[in-house]
Each structure stands twice: as C-alpha cells, then as structure tokens.
C-alpha cells in the first residue's frame, strides 16, 4: 500500500492552533507518521508496539 492510499488523520497530540500538525495512518503492520505541512516528504513508520510504547511515555511526561 502506498502512503497516498493510507487513511491519514490528525493526531490528537497535535497543537490546537493548526500549525503543529502531525498526521498518522494505522495499518495492521505499522503506524505511519507525517508532517501535515509537508505531505510530499516521505513519512516514517513504526511498529504498532513501538508506537504504543511511545504514547505511554508521552502520557507519563
């Protein structure tokens, strides 16, 4: 699946002013992450377990 076919949505952790937007797209294998201001830049992907650990660490901070 190409990144243009993914169902991107704005992360709930993005800033409310609209200029700090991170978008994510979830698949069975990974969570894809991109900057909404630069969608032509290649997004990165992390495994779902890694993404879950990252969110847990952010929530604890």
Contact present, 23 and 38 (Cβ < 8 Å): no
What percent of the chain clears pLDDT 90, i.e. is strictly above it? 39
- pTM for the complete prediction? 0.74
- Band of pLDDT at residue 7, cut at 50, 70 and 90: very high
Q: Which two structure tokens, joined as six digits, stand for 54?
A: 């990252």
Check: CB of residue 31 under 8 Å from CB of residue 49.
no
> 38 pLDDT exceeds 80?
yes
Residue 20: pLDDT over 60: yes
Instruction: Report whether 13 contacts 35 (CB < 8 A).
Output: no
Residue 35: count of CB within 10 angstroms of its CB:
13
């Amino acid at each position: 699946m190409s990144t243009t076919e993914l169902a991107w949505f704005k992360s709930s952790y993005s800033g409310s002013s609209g200029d700090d937007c991170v978008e994510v797209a979830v698949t069975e294998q990974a969570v894809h992450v991109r900057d909404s201001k630069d969608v032509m830049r290649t997004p990165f992907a992390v495994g779902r377990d890694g993404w879950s650990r990252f969110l847990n660490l952010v929530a604890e901070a």
